[in-house]
Amino acid sequence: MADRGGEAGFEGRHIRVRGLVQGVGFRPTVWRLARDLGLSGEVRNDGAGVVIRVWGGSSKLDHFVLRLQTEAPPLARVERVEQRVLHSPPPSGTGFCITASDSTSVQTGVVPDAATCAACSAEVLDPSNRRFRYPFTNCTHCGPRLSIVYAIPYDRANTSMARFAMCPACLAEYRDPADRRFHAQPNACPVCGPRVWLEDARGRQQEWGAWSKVDALDAAAELIDRGRILAVKGIGGFHLACDAGNAEAVERLRRRKQRIRKPFALMARDPHVIARYCKLSPAEERLLQAPAAPVVLLERRDGAQLAPDLAPGQRSLGFMLPYSPLHLLLLQRFDRPLVFTSGNRSDEPQCTDNERARRALSSIADVFLLHDREIANRVDDSVVRSVGAGLQPLRRARGYAPEPITLPAGLEQAPELIALGGELKNTFCLVKDGRAILSQHLGDLEEASAFAEYRKAIGLFSAVYQHRPKALVVDAHPGYRSTRFGREWASRESLPLAEVQHHHAHIAACMADNGLSLDHPRVLGIAFDGLGYGADGGLWGGEFLLADYLGYERLGHLRSFPLIGGVRAVLEPWRNAFAQLRDCVGWSRLLAVHDELELVRSLGSKPIALLEKMLEQGMHCPPTSSAGRWFDAVAAAVGVARDRLSYEGEAAMELEALVCEKDLAECAAYPFGRLRVDACLVIDPAPMWAALLADLTRGQPPARVAASFHLGLSRAVAGVAGTLARERAVSSILLSGGVLQNLVFTRLLRGFLESAGLQVLVHHRVPANDGGLSLGQAVIGAARRCSGEA
Ligand code: ZN
Ligand code: ZN
Ligand code: FE
């Protein structure tokens, strides 16, 4: 019973709730709370969130507002609750109801895909439930979202569930505000929803019935148990799965997929299974079990009994938990992990449709586990690491995208714009209504099919967010596909185009990630990565920038060395070792003094004369200050991934993995020099190479060389940062760029900086690598527009 007018303290309130409150079961929660408290009124969605008009005793109303925040449904994020008194009387004789959405303002946006909730998991495993073993079970608190949406509004008709008409039982749930499936757009059951089946590699459906198995999933699990490789169609794409305890199966998968050393992600039934193979902190366990259900990189336990080449040369393993009922049912019988790597051929993006998967994966998978719900958008697994109290995202996709990031203070009025990102690990970013909306990870645009999906995703996001850009933002690199695409778009539609320097974008992304306001004093950014286009037309990648959102000044960098052979030097680390040794020591001196070293003999077997000629003529030898190439050079020097990388970042990742705590405590830091080049402070590795060669001569193992290098470089970088911070009276240091994903380096660097009294800020919502670049471009573009610059 609603309180009646005339009672003491009776009043009406207009309550607006902002944040992620649409499509997550917020209105039914409001409805339930109002009924609980005996309030009358209504709740509805509109263009800006949820609006509630409610009447009752004032203390009950206060209680109601409090509970809106404490009892919000699991996928909701309440950012703000605004209230004002309503002077109109309550509508007569109604109680509390959910009103249809305001037709004048279309509901925009879509929420991330969420892992199966506890209630749905229980139903799937309950033999008496009508959804027993049903792989597409979901509810308002869980299930697919971004991966199934084609258009707005987010209604079933605009998703890949449109072709499945709900049966009466599902429809009753869908219409009942008291039901967990009220307005759950992908609601389905075995009677009316999508189904799974098994096929062999030639596309023939497999009759599991003959094997006395319960269903296709049971049969699929049996096949994995027998060592087969399965192509599994999941939520956001295909995976290739096999038994991680079966060395022969893992080796076969590597061979067929031509994935030589890149680590495989793993999936395990529950945290207990994972804890047998990896160290697992409470924070890491929470991350694994979060609705986003990302792949979490975990430190491997010594002597873990798994196939040896799951993650060659790495100390960590990437684990995730089953995040849909399909995965839950597949994993149920395994007390050991399964490999769950993306279902693609070497460098291509993950397959999403049955037909393409049959073609692309038939030479890799023995069996296909398919289903008939289309994947509207490819959404890869997210990859994160738990660092201290926080989270370090390495790939932001399923479960995180497209959750908006509130723009820093001062940029609330920014016009709608789109930032197109970089080239590798790409994302794009929309700015609208004071928020930045990052796409999911879309991969390397050099790959034609990834570029096609990138364009498709831009189209979808533009529609879903009703986005009409007033300006475009691109990287300054003229050769990036995203840059050329942006330039064509801008000229076709006569829109202003802003070009942003790569490392400025990295630092701005880190500033926005940490919520620094537009008027925040300038910070010192350390942007270390592979390669980015420099303001002088060179290739940068080891930069000290004094920056705010509007501009930057290059104060320092790593010494430049020729990238001999251009892109080949990115793939062949020995070229970087040669370039640095040649400039720092001299090739003839190296031959004269160190000819007994395995390193020198190995370099001597390369076409040195040809390289010398290229250097002499300045052919294909652009100078670069890239930090990534420094790690490659040192890795090559100790024999790690020397000749050729089998995946991006391999040399640096394996060099880092060599470092152990004992060596860090015992080894001396390598010395580095400092130079002044023009107005910049430059770090010189010449003293480091002398010490490294001496270590190699003394027969120091690679692990100790790696430890001395990490110690020395982080100390040198912190030293230069300290000097620059003092000179420019700056107290905040921001770390960004792919190299900062090196945990050992970042931890050491952070330690040195903090003990010098500097505040250190790192990424925690977007990746430090180029996956976060579009956020930086977006805030720089927004800042320029807000301050009246182009
Ligand atoms: Zn659920
Ligand atoms: Zn049904
Ligand atoms: Fe970069």
Instruction: Tell me the pLDDT tens digit for each residue of 473-524.
Output: 999 999 999 999 999 999 999 999 999 999 999 999 999 999 999 999 999 9
Cα 172 to ligand 2 centroid, rounded to whole Å: 9
pLDDT in tens, 558-592: 999 999 999 999 999 999 999 999 999 999 999 99
pLDDT in tens, 293-333: 999 999 999 877 888 889 999 999 999 999 999 999 999 99
Cα 56 to ligand 3 centroid, rounded to whole Å: 56
The β-bridge partners of 84 are: 14
Cα 194 to ligand 2 centroid, rounded to whole Å: 10
Cα 325 to ligand 1 centroid, rounded to whole Å: 10
CB-based contact 233:216 (threshold 8 Å): no
pLDDT in tens, 139-177: 999 999 999 999 877 889 999 999 999 999 999 999 999
End-to-end CA distance of the chain: 59
Could you tell me how many residues make up the chain? 790
Q: Quick one: which ligand is closest to 119's CA?
A: 1
Joined together, the tokens standing for residue 261 give 């050393």
Can you give the pLDDT at residue 303? 79
Cα 771 to ligand 2 centroid, rounded to whole Å: 39
Mean pLDDT over residues 758-764, rounded?
Answer: 97
Cα 431 to ligand 3 centroid, rounded to whole Å: 21
Instruction: Give the Cα separation of 104 and 117 in Å (integer).
Output: 34
Can you give the pLDDT at residue 8? 63
Q: Which amino acid is at 168?
A: P
pLDDT in tens, 397-425: 999 999 999 999 999 999 999 999 999 99
Q: In this model, does residue 1 exceed pLDDT 50?
A: no
Cα 422 to ligand 3 centroid, rounded to whole Å: 8
Q: Quick one: which ligand is closest to 137's CA?
A: 1
Containing H/E element for 302?
none
Can you give the pLDDT at residue 336? 96
Cα 474 to ligand 3 centroid, rounded to whole Å: 13
Q: Is 505 left (phi over 0), alpha (psi -120 to 50) or beta?
A: alpha
Cα 237 to ligand 3 centroid, rounded to whole Å: 26
Confidence tier at 209 by pLDDT (50, 70, 90): low
Can you give the pLDDT at residue 513? 98
Q: Quick one: which ligand is closest to 768's CA?
A: 3
Full-model pTM: 0.95
Cα 505 to ligand 3 centroid, rounded to whole Å: 9
Joined together, the tokens standing for residue 503 give 């490392």
Cα 335 to ligand 2 centroid, rounded to whole Å: 32
The dihedral of CA 392, 394, 399, 404: what is its sign?
positive
Cα 351 to ligand 1 centroid, rounded to whole Å: 26
235: buried, middle or exposed (CB in 10 Å: 19+, 13-18, 0-12)?
A: buried
Query: Which range (20-24, 434-438, 628-632) has the least confidence?
Result: 20-24
Residue 339's closest CA among 360, 312, 318? 318
Residue 502's closest CA among 527, 479, 519? 527
Containing H/E element for 24?
none
Q: Quick one: which ligand is closest to 167's CA?
A: 2
Cα 501 to ligand 2 centroid, rounded to whole Å: 53
Can you give the pLDDT at residue 155? 85
Q: Quick one: which ligand is closest to 193's CA?
A: 2
State the SS3 of 670-733.
Answer: CCCEEEEECCEEEEECHHHHHHHHHHHHCCCCHHHHHHHHHHHHHHHHHHHHHHHHHHCCCCEE
Cα 193 to ligand 2 centroid, rounded to whole Å: 6
The β-bridge partners of 96 are: 41
Q: How many CB atoms lie within 10 A of CB 395?
A: 21
Q: Quick one: which ligand is closest to 505's CA?
A: 3
Q: How far, in Å, are 117, 120, 370, 520 from residue 189 at the CA level? A: 16, 12, 17, 53
The dihedral of CA 129, 130, 134, 140: what is its sign?
negative
Q: In this model, does residue 7 exceed pLDDT 60?
A: no
Joined together, the tokens standing for residue 134 give 């049903």
CB-based contact 573:636 (threshold 8 Å): yes
